Structure 1
Amino acid sequence: MFRTHTQKAFTLFISSFFLILALASCGTTTTGTPSSASPVPAQGKVIEVVAAENFWGSIATQVGGDHVYVTNIITDPNADPHAYEPTAANARTVADAQYVILNGAGYDPWADKLLQSNPASGRKVLNIGDLNGKREGDNPHMWYNPDDVTAVVHKLHDDFVTLDAADATAFDQSEQAFLTNGLKEYHTLIADIKAKYAGTPVGATESIFSYLAPALGLKLVTPYSYLKAVSEGTDISAADEATVEQQIKTRQITILVYNSQNTPNNIQKVLNLATVASVPVTTITETLTPANASFQDWQSSQLKGIQSALSKATGK
């Protein structure tokens, strides 16, 4: 059940408060897993937010602070956001939302269909692909691009202020806290890796690393057509497959970064080759892992894994 927060007369406040507490465990579910959501403040205006994916929901929760309530649709690390089948509960959740966040760029077309099927007057929508100039066919994994993440933070802040101008100061404070404190380790790790390992050739199994690699100053040598094919579940060309295998066998790559949530047989073969060639392997994932992690803790943990693999491979 999705909750709606309204300003009521004082005489109804107490009963409303206990109703909220009673419903605290309700929410949109995905593949049987309850969705994560931001805490519910005891008073004041609250913007009902729905995020198609929990990584964007985590950011929205922190930018909005006590003045937003965020429900995430995709929360299960085993769910495939590309192929997710929305439920009737998801439709109700979107229908009641004041603000909806979808990734866009062809990543979650089901979310756009939910919006079209459940029109609502006054609802604002943030399509992150549109915000960052990405279209279907482009790399949609924008949460791995630090610049795109910053753009989303600013947009969320501005939209929340538009919806709740009375709490603009609170949104200013929470946005600044997230950018300067919440993302501090994330940005420090990116800067440290870039300073130490700039120009280092690396390989990957999916396009989710295609934005982060240049941000880290790393030279991603895996053919992009290979990365995109694995990400989209399409056939890999024989030439690309041969190139990737040769890069590993001859140690043209220093480390291999792979998406542990997507390991079809051809990728398992690549991982085995890396083990034989003593090429360090490190993992990244498509969605928050664990599911209740914050965006920055999840990303920082993965960055530490990349840093450790680079250190092992280069001895520095």
Structure 2
Amino acid sequence: MSQLGRRIVLRLPIKSVAVAAALLLSACGLSQSPTGNAESGKVRVVAAENFWGSITAQVGGSRVQVTSIIVNPDTDPHSYEATPGDARLIAQAQYVILNGAGYDAWAPKLIGANPVAGRTVLTVADLFGKKEGDNPHLWYSPAYVDQVIDRIASDLGKIDFANASVFTQQAAQYWTVGLKDYHDTIGAIRQKHAGTKVGATESIFSYLADGTGLDLVTPYSYLNAISEGTDPSAADKAEVESQIASRAIRVFLFNSQNSTPDIQGLVDKATSKGIPVVKMTETLTPAGATFQDWQTAQLKDLLQALGG
């Protein structure tokens, strides 16, 4: 079997996990309208991934309690196995945030298996008309992130109407102050290096290439195949190897959470040709970082690799 098929793993089907979790939660009396923490009065939020969780925690501030499900930088989110504990978290939440577009397909199944009145669900992909099969790495689009911040503030304001203006103010503060270095670094890359040809191991970088103005020349069919855990065509493989061998790209971007021997071989070839390799990850690294610190650190590595 190809090394690129590593995401096909043996595990209990998600539907079975969801149904089992639903039965467990029903037996525990958790199939009811969610409420905030009785002691704190905070809105209880569950994010499927910690990048959306980090943003929500900063928009909501002291008035939200955020729990993210996928937090381990060593976890491949595409093949994450949901647990009854995840279903319990979602059942108790007032607000659930999913990425969508097939990235966290386990999450809507858990929600559907345990319907709860009054729970608000934000599926980020739906905001932008993205569906399964489209590039799901939406948090790598600066434009999408900005829109999601506004939507989160709006949703929190509807759940906790008394603090709606506070959420709006905190979202504005987060955009102008919290994300300033993030936006400034993106602007610096666009101003100094727009049009520069770069390569990547998978589609995680595609949206950010648009945001920074870089020319991502790796065939999209190759990027998508690696992201989906399938074999790229022979023609695409040859094209990527040719771009590296001829030094047709200035920088090679590497998703370290989706690495195979074939991908590592490309990284080694790029390094041997003197092409800087910039590592990227799908989730917060380290796990306790904020969204902006994580993204800005990667962007600054990219800016330096491009020549500053």
Calculate the TM-score normalised by the size of structure 1.
Answer: 0.85
Measured after TM superposition, the shift of residue 6 of structure 1 is 4.6
SS at match of 2:58: helix
Match of 1:152 in 2: 148
Counterpart Cα distance in 1 of 2:117 and 2:110: 15
Alignment partner of 2:299 out of 300, 303, 308? 303
Measured after TM superposition, the shift of residue 5 of structure 1 is 3.9
* Letter of the 2:44 counterpart: E
Alignment partner of 1:195 out of 179, 186, 191? 191
Pair 1:182-2:178 in alignment: yes
Measured after TM superposition, the shift of residue 4 of structure 1 is 6.2
SS at match of 2:139: helix
Pair 1:140-2:130 in alignment: no
Counterpart Cα distance in 2 of 1:219 and 1:5: 46
**1:23-62 Cα distance to aligned partner (Å, 9 max, x none):** xxxxxxxxxxxxxxxxxxxx4x311100000000000001
Gaps of at least 5 residues in structure 1 are 8-15, 17-42
Match of 1:94 in 2: 90
Pair 1:268-2:269 in alignment: no
Which has the bigger relative contact order, CA under 8 A and spacing at least 6? 2
1:252–1:6: structure 2 CA closer, same or farther, 3 Å change rule? closer
C-alpha contact 2:37 2:44 (8 A) present in aligned 1: no
Report percent identity of matched pairs. Answer: 55
Match of 1:247 in 2: 243
Measured after TM superposition, the shift of residue 169 of structure 1 is 2.2
**1:166-211 Cα distance to aligned partner (Å, 9 max, x none):** 0122112211110100000000000001000011000000100000
* Letter of the 2:77 counterpart: P
Match of 1:38 in 2: none
Match of 1:163 in 2: 159
Counterpart Cα distance in 2 of 1:185 and 1:85: 35
* Letter of the 2:285 counterpart: T
Gaps of at least 5 residues in structure 2 are 1-29
Runs of 4+ in 1 over 3 A off after TM superposition: 2-7
Counterpart Cα distance in 2 of 1:5 and 1:48: 5
How many equivalent pairs are there? 276
* Letter of the 1:105 counterpart: A
Counterpart Cα distance in 2 of 1:72 and 1:84: 13
Match of 2:4 in 1: none
**1:261-316 Cα distance to aligned partner (Å, 9 max, x none):** 121011011011112211111111010000000000000000000001101xxxx6
Match of 1:284 in 2: 280
Measured after TM superposition, the shift of residue 87 of structure 1 is 1.0
Alignment partner of 2:207 out of 198, 211, 229? 211
* Letter of the 2:196 counterpart: T
* Letter of the 1:253 counterpart: I
Counterpart Cα distance in 2 of 1:76 and 1:263: 16
Calculate the TM-score normalised by the size of structure 2.
Answer: 0.87
Counterpart Cα distance in 1 of 2:271 and 2:45: 44
SS at match of 2:305: helix
Counterpart Cα distance in 1 of 2:278 and 2:169: 36
* Letter of the 1:198 counterpart: A
C-alpha contact 2:244 2:270 (8 A) present in aligned 1: yes
Pair 1:125-2:121 in alignment: yes
Measured after TM superposition, the shift of residue 132 of structure 1 is 1.4
Match of 2:226 in 1: 230
